[in-house]
Amino acid sequence: MTITVAGNEKEYDAGLTVTTLIAAEEVETPEYVTVSINDEFVASGDFETTTLKDGDNVEFLYFMGGGR
Amino acid sequence: MAFTNEQMERYSRHIILSEVGVKGQKKLLNSKVLIIGAGGLGAPVGMYLAAAGVGTIGIADADTVDLSNLQRQVIHTTADVGKPKVESAKETMLAINPDITVNTYHEFVLASNIADIVKDYDFVIDGTDNFPAKFLINDACVLAKKPFSHAGIIRFQGQLMTYVPGEGPCYRCVFKSPPPPDAVPTCSQAGVIGAMGGVIGSLQAMEAIKYIIGKGELLTGQLLTYDALKMEFRKIKLPHGDHCAVCGKEPTITELFDYEQAVCGVNYDE
């Protein structure tokens, strides 16, 4: 299946969970990433049970603490 | 209030813009913006807002200028090392534009004082370097119904979003609570390219100006991310967190509190 991850189209096997995707995409600080699928947030407690489907649009939102 | 000849000349490139004009410039001169953090982000924000003629600028920061700040905090100079950042920032802003008023708050912004500071301003800029402060600014602005620009920078990356009461998600809708101290790298640990403050801070100044003059589209409900190495800007749509603890339908945060301050390295300062 084809999904869009952070704006880029990617091929993944069906049945992919958010947890597996986070590992496959080598997300930095995976414990603290916010995930949205098709512009809806996924609760972090649901990462393991949420499966992606063809055409899904996934975004990772990262804490960025610097500024001064 | 009629413009003086000097004001007409100083703001002529604004006044000639149909989106600004005399009316918009008057709005800027009558506006009050609070900048929290006189550092990498606060520096360009302060300088551009001063130059733009934002009539009252508040600047809050407890620190003094350090030599390691000067790689990016362009509002301070080498001669300012050791001076309170708010004083150094005020001097630069008034040197750019003596037409404005600058209020300084040489203190940490905490749950005990933030509401009192924020209440006098129309728009707030988050230019802080730590999550406890970023969450506090969010909560204070949500509870006081004040619009604000959130931003963060690290390494070659930056991001920002704008909160306007009733018009979109707040920072806490996206990030529920601060990560534990040291779980996510800070600039002092991971570094930041100096010009990143210039890029993202200038965008924060742009959001404040657009909000004040009431023109264009703001980054409400959107996170703008910038990757300097890829030279890529992206806008990520942010859904509203209906269950948000502070701005949701049934908020659980109804008064301000401080998270434990994560101290960055030896020196709190970034």
Asked if A32 and B152 come within 8 Å (Cβ–Cβ), the reply is: no
* Chains A–B, number of C-beta pairs less than 8 Å apart: 94
Q: What is the ipTM of this complex?
A: 0.93
Q: Report the pLDDT value the prediction gives residue B268, as an integer from 0 to 100.
A: 35
Q: Report the pLDDT value the prediction gives residue B202, as an integer from 0 to 100.
A: 98
Asked if A63 and B152 come within 8 Å (Cβ–Cβ), the reply is: yes
Asked if B128 and A40 come within 8 Å (Cβ–Cβ), the reply is: no
Asked if B130 and A7 come within 8 Å (Cβ–Cβ), the reply is: no
Token code pair at residue B217: 């589209």
Distance, in Å, from the CA atom of B121 to the CA atom of B47, rounded to the nearest integer, reads: 18
CATH class of B31-237: alpha beta
DSSP annotation of B69: G
Query: Tell me: the pLDDT tens digits for A44-62?
Result: 999 999 999 999 999 999 9
What residues in B contact A68, CB-CB < 8 Å? Answer: 37-42, 61, 63, 69, 73, 127-129, 187, 269-270
Q: Report the pLDDT value the prediction gives residue B261, as an integer from 0 to 100.
A: 66
Distance, in Å, from the CA atom of B252 to the CA atom of B111, rounded to the nearest integer, reads: 16
Q: Report the pLDDT value the prediction gives residue B258, as an integer from 0 to 100.
A: 95
Residue A18 within a domain: yes
**How many angstroms away from the CA of B191 is the closest CA of chain A?**
9
Q: What is the CATH number of the domain that holds A14?
A: 3.10.20.30
What residues in B contact A36, CB-CB < 8 Å? Answer: 236-239
Q: Report the pLDDT value the prediction gives residue B185, as an integer from 0 to 100.
A: 79
Name residues of chain B where pLDDT drops below 50. 263-270
Q: How far, in Å, are A44, B61, B180, B208 from residue B121 at the CA level? A: 36, 16, 31, 12
Residue A14 belongs to what domain range?
A: 2-61
> Who among B42, B73, B241 is closest to A41 (CB)?
B241
Determine if the pTM surpasses 0.90.
Answer: yes
Strands (E) located in chain B: 32-36, 56-60, 101-105, 123-126, 148-154, 157-163, 222-227, 232-237
Count of structural domains, chain A: 1
Do the strands A40-42 and A57-61 form a parallel or antiparallel pair, or are they unpaired? unpaired
- Residue in chain A closest to B181 (alpha carbons) equals A65
Asked if A64 and B174 come within 8 Å (Cβ–Cβ), the reply is: no
Residue A29 within a domain: yes
Residue A53 within a domain: yes
What are the structural domain ranges in chain B?
31-237
**How many angstroms away from the CA of B238 is the closest CA of chain A?**
7
Q: Report the pLDDT value the prediction gives residue B241, as an integer from 0 to 100.
A: 79
